[in-house]
Chains A and B, each alone.
Chain A
Amino acid sequence: MSKDLRFVEGLCTGDQKVVEEIYALFFPKVKTFVMRNSGKITDAEDVFHDALVQLYVRLRKRELTITSSFEAYLFTTSKNLWRRELNKKRVTKPSLIELDTKDRAMALIEQEQWELYMAKFQKLPENCRKVLTLFFNGASYEEIISSFSYTSKLVARQRVFKCKAKLVKLIQEDSHFLRLKDL
């Protein structure tokens, strides 16, 4: 049995030994991320806990199939949960962050939608992915022009727009997105 499969099965059955192994192997990276982004060790523990619980619910109830590694999946989920918390500015509260069950459910739905957006982004042609990565992370049109040797700002603007339009179409045409919209 592969390690990842053992982690998945161990988590699904709540196997204490496996959960401890997961903790020992993967918590340090999450701790480093949270603490480098305004969090305390207790925040990191809560985020890691919630990520494991979310993963458990998705594996058991939402037919989740892990396509990357277990570690990558767990880290991304933890990272997103912390970004979500930072966005809500809960970090200013002195007490620990404990999501209530409804908020945990919301976080799961948000994570699923985020994954859909990421998957669609990966379906774009490479050039579009590069342009949009720069654009979405705050690069100016001048920087995009120099990175891709476009002839003018207008050309760069059109390129960004066409890539965004492709992305919007890919997202809108996805059946899961439609389901989320229609639910």
Chain B
Amino acid sequence: MSLDETTYQEIADYLAGAMDKDTLSAFEDRLAKDAKLRDTYELFQKLGSVYNTSEWNMTPEHQPAELAELTKTFASDEVAHLSKTIRESAIRQNTVGTSTKRRWWYAASVGVAAVLVALFYLSRPLSPQAAFEKYHNWDTLPGFTTKSDAQDLFLSKVENTFRAKQYEKALLDFTEYQKTHKTYNPNVQLYIGVCQLELSQYEAAIKTFTLLGEAQVMDSHKSYWYLAMTYLKKGDLEPAKDALKELTSQKTHYKYDEAKALLQELK
């Protein structure tokens, strides 16, 4: 089924746009007529989307009879029976999960309370930087999707750069993205702020998170947590506490419990 080396080279030249006008025209003629060449060319083109980790581009050719046979199997009683068993397992897991979770939360609450009491009576206040080290966790930042359109793929790639702690490059890419897109994207802003924070560009980070809080496109209280993290890393205790107090003013606020615990540790 495979072709000779010259033909492969021709396909590569064609894909790279490295053919002169006459060669190109002759090659396109062959492509239109030669099914084997066309198959190979299409396979070359397809490779990129098959092997990258974010797309899904499998379009196998199949015999209708094979598909019909498989469809029949999926619709059979035995599969329906298994399907029911799986669904029941899911329900049972959730039930078990909930009661286990309740017990766990109860135990955890008691544990946290004990730790808080111990901290309150026994420990010395945390320094702002130590508090930052203890409480910052970028894993909780929202992830970007891995849909196939270029915009999502780009953001997903920049997120990977961020996760690899290449904050300078991630900041550049996220900023460039925001410049070229008119729609204000709060999640992109969040990443921009955290990149600035990691790069010790504190004033820029404070500005980003303040604007984010005022933008009314996300829960504005969420930005107080990141503001607090910025001030802590910077070593500004009082504004960090002010931001945390904003969070503890309502139980429904983002990271209410953590903000409360952190305030205790900073006193």
Chain A residues engaging chain B, CB cutoff 8 angstroms:
11, 14, 16, 19-20, 22-24, 27, 36-38, 45, 48-49, 52-53, 56-57, 61, 80, 83-84, 86-87, 89, 91, 101-102, 104-106, 108-114, 117, 121, 132-133, 135-138, 157, 161, 164-165, 167-169, 171-173, 178, 180-181, 183
Q: Report the minimal beta-carbon distance from B4 to chain A, rounded to whole angstroms.
A: 11
Minimum CB distance partner of A36 in chain B = B143
Question: Given that A14-B85, A104-B74 are contacting pairs, would A180 and B61 also be in contact in the complex, using a CB cutoff of 8 Å?
Answer: yes
Per the bound structure, the CA–CA distance linking A23 and B93 in Å amounts to: 8
CB distance from B70 to the nearest CB of A (A): 4
Q: Contacts A27-B93, A37-B143, A173-B1 known; A53 to B79 CB distance under 8 Å?
A: yes
Q: Interface residues of B: mostly helix, strand, loop or mixed?
A: helix
Q: B39 at the A/B interface (Cβ < 8 Å)?
A: yes
CB distance from A120 to the nearest CB of B (A): 10
> Considering the chains assembled together, what is the distance between the CA atoms of A167 and B58 in angstroms?
16
What's the minimum C-beta distance from B164 to chain A, rounded to whole angstroms? Answer: 13
- Closest-by-CB residue of A relative to B83 is A53
Mark the stretch among B44-52, B110-118, B123-131 that contacts chain A: B44-52
B residues within 8 A CB of A20? 89, 92-93
- CB-CB nearest in chain A for B53: A137
B249 on the interface (CB 8 Å rule)? no
- Which one of A52, A114, A136 lies within 8 Å of B47 (CB-CB)? A136
What 0/1 pattern do residues 129 to 147 of B give for CB contact below 8 A with A?
A: 0000000000000010111
Q: Is the CB of B55 within 8 A of A87?
A: yes
Q: Which residues of A contact B78 (CB under 8 A)?
A: 14
CB neighbours of A168 from chain B (8 A): 2, 8, 40, 43-44, 47
Judge whether A23 and B51 touch: CB under 8 Å.
no
Instruction: Check B70 against A138 for contact (C-beta < 8 Å).
Output: no
Q: How far is the CA of A102 from the CA of B62 in the complex (A)?
A: 13
A-B contact pairs, 11 of them (CB 8 A): A19-B82, A37-B143, A53-B82, A80-B56, A83-B56, A86-B145, A87-B57, A111-B58, A164-B12, A171-B43, A183-B63
Whether the Cβ atoms of A87 and B93 lie closer than 8 Å is no
Question: Closest CB of chain B to A36's CB: distance in Å?
Answer: 5
Could you list 7 further interchain pairs (A-B, Cβ under 8 angstroms) beyond the known A38-B146, A102-B71? Answer: A53-B86, A113-B58, A114-B58, A168-B40, A172-B2, A180-B60, A183-B61
CB-based contact B86/A84 at 8 Å: no
- Knowing A87-B57, A165-B8, say if A56 contacts B16 (CB, 8 Å): no
Could you tell me if A172 and B148 are in contact, using CB atoms closer than 8 angstroms? no
Residue of B nearest to A180 (CB): B60
**Considering the complex of A and B, which 4 residue pairs feature the smallest CB-CB distances, nearest first?**
A105-B70, A183-B63, A110-B58, A101-B74
**In contact, A23 and B89 (Cβ under 8 angstroms):** yes
Q: Which residue of A lies closest to B15 (CB)?
A: A161
Does B257 lie at the interface of the complex (its beta carbon under 8 Å from any beta carbon of A)? no
Contact assessment for A38 and B60 in the assembled complex, using a CB-CB cutoff below 8 Å: no
Interface flag for B88 (CB, 8 Å): yes
Cβ-closest chain A residue relative to B156: A37
With both chains docked as a complex, state the minimum distance between the C-beta of B94 and any C-beta of chain A, in angstroms: 9
B51 and A136 within 8 A (CB)? yes
